Amino acid sequence: MTDSVKAFLDTSVLIAASDVEHPHYRRSHSLLAAADLQPTACGAHTLAEVYAVLSRLPGVKRQRPELAALLIAQIVDRLTVVSLTGEEYAATICEIARMGLASGIVFDALLLACARKIGAERIYTWNERHFRTVAPDLAERIVTP
């Protein structure tokens, strides 16, 4: 798995790829479509984030739980889902604490730990600034779609 995965998709990319009206839909959806040709991964936590976002969006954009779950199943079918061990979670949290970072940036750090774990060549996100803050050593790999 680690030698073959080239691209890692952040939650923000998968959310954009799921909504044809999203301003980043076309570029995000193209990356997801390319998962058939190029081994692509996401973090296990991304599954929960995508479900949470889709099932709480305001108004007509909100997905019924069963439709949001269907999208999660499709993601699992198309992407390699990368998990962290308890030790890897703790080490990542300790590292961002050492860096003086707090709050929700922990989720970006956990996703970056997944990308690092598999040696992803490209890490796609619509949140470059936070990702580069958490992992300056991966800055060259962190890009927008």
Across residues 13-28, what is the average pLDDT?
Answer: 92
> Does 106 map to a domain?
yes
Which DSSP state fits 22?
A: S
Across residues 99-110, what is the average pLDDT?
Answer: 95
Which DSSP state fits 94?
A: H
Across residues 124-140, what is the average pLDDT?
Answer: 96
Residue 98 has a pLDDT of: 96
The enclosing domain of 33 has a CATH number of 3.40.50.1010
> Does 2 map to a domain?
no
6: exposed, middle or buried (Cβ count in 10 Å: 0-12, 13-18, 19+): middle
Residue 62: what residue type? R
Query: What's the total number of domains in the chain?
Result: 1
Q: How far is CA 76 from CA 27, 80, 96, 143, in A?
A: 20, 7, 28, 23
> Does 1 map to a domain?
no
101: exposed, middle or buried (Cβ count in 10 Å: 0-12, 13-18, 19+): middle
> Does 81 map to a domain?
yes
Q: Give per-residue pLDDT as tens, 34-88.
A: 887 688 999 999 999 999 988 876 565 667 788 889 989 999 999 999 999 999 9
| Token output for 143 | 């890009």
- 81 is in which domain, residue-wise? 7-143
Residue 1 has a pLDDT of: 44
Across residues 97-113, what is the average pLDDT?
Answer: 95
Residue 2 has a pLDDT of: 45
Q: Please give the model's pTM, rounded to 2 decimal places.
A: 0.90
